[in-house]
């Protein structure tokens, strides 16, 4: 249904806008003025090696997604990282 659940269907938000989909990542990429591929690569790096100062917008995205899917933030991040690494 999305990046955060682990089903490997990143286009489907399962009727909950807080789940992380390709459209979610496209919107963040556009806001940051980078292409989707570069943003996905940067997000994978962010998840693999969290910076000392966390990005509040990204952290909020994961908190909302975790709540929407009934999972921990750690699980939402892990599932997203796994799908991002699988795609690249």
Q: What is the number of domains present in the chain?
A: 1
What digits encode the pLDDT tens for the residues 17-51?
Answer: 899 999 999 999 999 999 999 999 999 999 999 99
pLDDT at residue 60 in the model: 98
Q: What is the mean pLDDT of the chain?
A: 92
pLDDT at residue 88 in the model: 62
pLDDT at residue 43 in the model: 98
User: What range does the domain containing 76 cover?
Assistant: 22-87
Q: Is residue 11 part of a domain?
A: no
Distances from the Cα of 65 to the Cα of 33, 69, 70, angstroms: 23, 6, 8
Question: Does 3 or 26 have the greater pLDDT score?
Answer: 26
Asked if 54 and 43 touch (Cβ cutoff 8 Å), the reply is: no
- Predicted TM-score (pTM) of this structure: 0.89
Q: Is residue 17 part of a domain?
A: no
Q: Is residue 58 part of a domain?
A: yes
């Amino acid at each position: 249904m999305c990046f955060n659940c682990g089903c490997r269907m990143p286009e489907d938000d399962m009727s909950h806008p807080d789940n992380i989909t390709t459209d979610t990542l496209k919107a963040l990429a556009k806001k940051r003025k980078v292409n989707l591929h570069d943003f996905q690569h940067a997000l994978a790096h962010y998840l693999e090696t969290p910076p000392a100062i966390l990005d509040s917008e990204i952290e909020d995205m994961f908190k909302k997604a975790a709540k929407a899917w009934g999972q921990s933030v750690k699980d939402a991040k892990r599932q997203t990282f796994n799908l991002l690494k699988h795609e690249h």
